[in-house]
Amino acid sequence: MKLGVCVPYRNREMHLNEFIPKVGKYLKEQNIDFQMYFCHQVDDKLFNRGATKNIAAKHAFEEGCTHIVWHDIDMIPEEGGGADYSFPEDGPRHIATQISQMNYGLKYHEYFGGAVVFSKEQVEATNGYSNEYWDWGMEDDDLFWRCNREGLTNNTYIQESLTSQPYKRFNGDNSFIKVPFTKPMRSLNSRSHTVSVLMRARQQPDKNPIFLIGSNERKYVEYPVIRVKGYDYGIGFNNSRAISLTYWNNFHQHNYMWVKRYDEQWTWVTAVFDSMDRKSHFYLNGSEVDTRGGFGSKSPLEFQGRLKNYGSEPWYIGTSPSEPDDSTVKFFKGDIAKVFAWKRALTPAEVSNLQTTIPKDELTIDIDFKNPETEFQEYMTETKVEDIKIPNSILPYRSDGRFRCLPHKDEGIVNGKFAKGETTARNERRYVLQMQQDEIDYKSDGINSLKYELVGEDILTPWAKMINIKL
């Protein structure tokens, strides 16, 4: 087995001088046979990380490497940090999973950058990186999506599926359910409580296009899954493809929690409020979603004062009664199978087992369309039946690896905007609106379609060479 270390390169001499000896030392200590390939783009075009990574991999395979690691030049494996550069048997393996710059966490849940190990066969299946992402951003995400399309991701599901589960389909135009107020619901929202829903959301691009960070024309909007009128309380799904929780305290201060989640995926969403500790907890599929290092909010979230009291207001499922009838965000589009609410904070163990056991103690709203016990009024919903299989997030194969990130200028999201401006915005549009929508044939855009001029090669060390190219 021979490893090719494939690194995109331009104007990073200080990083290069640290990378070669330190990564080389790490690999030698692991008794790994390796060769480093730095692909140096020497033209005056915008930098193309995907194409330069592909070129480095092409040279590595031509020289007999059995597998490669696509490696950022500012990522240094820490001694004893467990970074595994061995042959990836199961699938492409992400090894830069504990990054110093991110407090030894991930940038975001599905992050697939820094260092990823591929076999030659896995590169051929995915066709490597796209060659169409210029300047900063999205080429790593595109590669991850290729892995997903090829079945080379570590997709897992909640073990227990729901057989022949009825659910209600909401059309996004006029479908909703009203749960009338009852005495047991009094003060439900203003004390310790839990609300949980099994849902599958859909976007509504005909009403509101998918939100993009790099587009000022695309407004951020939110569709109602569960709502209580007033200072609206509840769970939602927004056009940035995230599930959210919104609530208020008695000082009219707003609290908001959210986490990325693909549409068309069944999801258990649970919010737990502890009025004694003044904390809210947000769970997806039984696991608390602390995503402070990436695309989401931290959990638990502390709130001030007391939770707002909604008096005798009914609960609405699939609509926001506060929105006017002609609003483009008045109705939810998707499916809902179960809705529960308890007059107490469920324990983490109870939340993790909701797919098998629904606690009855203080259960106040109990809607399971397989056996509904709560009275409700439904409008224009459609009943469907399905064997519901609940996926966890789509994730790459991973192994724990600690990496020190060398200092460099932040080229990502700075103060809520792309530091690189329009070039990254263009990449975002390509990835979100084309690649993720299956409008791109990645089999014809990648390592098999490279167009470049080889200017020359420089031998840096016996185990490292610089490949100079023009695109």
Domain boundaries, the chain: 3-155+394-470, 162-388
More confident of the two residues 411 and 194 = 194
Within 10 Å of residue 454's Cβ, how many Cβ atoms?
A: 11
Q: How confident is the model at residue 374 (pLDDT cuts 50, 70, 90)?
A: confident
Q: How confident is the model at residue 414 (pLDDT cuts 50, 70, 90)?
A: confident
Give residue 161's pLDDT. 76
pLDDT in tens, 62-81: 999 999 999 999 999 999 99
pLDDT of residue 104 exceeding 90, the answer is no
pLDDT of residue 296 exceeding 70, the answer is no
pLDDT of residue 412 exceeding 80, the answer is no
Which of 77-91, 403-417, 443-457 shows the lowest mean pLDDT across its residues? 403-417
pLDDT in tens, 323-356: 999 999 999 999 999 999 999 999 999 999 998 9
> For the CA atoms of 103, 107, 113, 114, what is the dihedral angle to 10 degrees?
-20
pLDDT of residue 148 exceeding 90, the answer is yes
Q: Which two tokens stand for residue 131?
A: 């060659």
Give residue 373's pLDDT. 83
Give residue 295's pLDDT. 55
* Measured distance CA(440)–CA(433) in Å, rounded: 10
Pairing verdict, β 115-119 and 93-94:
antiparallel
pLDDT of residue 469 exceeding 60, the answer is yes
* Measured distance CA(213)–CA(244) in Å, rounded: 18
How far is C-alpha 17 from the geometric centre of its chain's CA atoms? 34
pLDDT of residue 416 exceeding 80, the answer is no
What is the mean predicted confidence (pLDDT) over 228-248?
Answer: 93
pTM of this prediction?
Answer: 0.88
What is the mean predicted confidence (pLDDT) over 39-56?
Answer: 97
Query: Which CATH number fits the domain 162-388, given the four candidates 3.90.220.20, 3.30.70.990, 2.20.28.120, 2.60.120.200?
Result: 2.60.120.200
What is the mean predicted confidence (pLDDT) over 181-196?
Answer: 94
pLDDT of residue 293 exceeding 70, the answer is no
Give residue 394's pLDDT. 82
pLDDT of residue 358 exceeding 70, the answer is yes
Most distant CA pair in the chain: distance in Å?
80
pLDDT of residue 397 exceeding 60, the answer is yes
Give residue 290's pLDDT. 66
| Class of the domain covering 3-155+394-470 | alpha beta
pLDDT of residue 233 exceeding 70, the answer is yes
Sequence length of the chain is 471
Locus of tokens 């996926």: 391
More confident of the two residues 106 and 29 = 29
Give residue 216's pLDDT. 83
More confident of the two residues 297 and 450 = 450
What is the mean predicted confidence (pLDDT) over 392-411?
Answer: 88
What is the mean predicted confidence (pLDDT) over 140-149?
Answer: 96
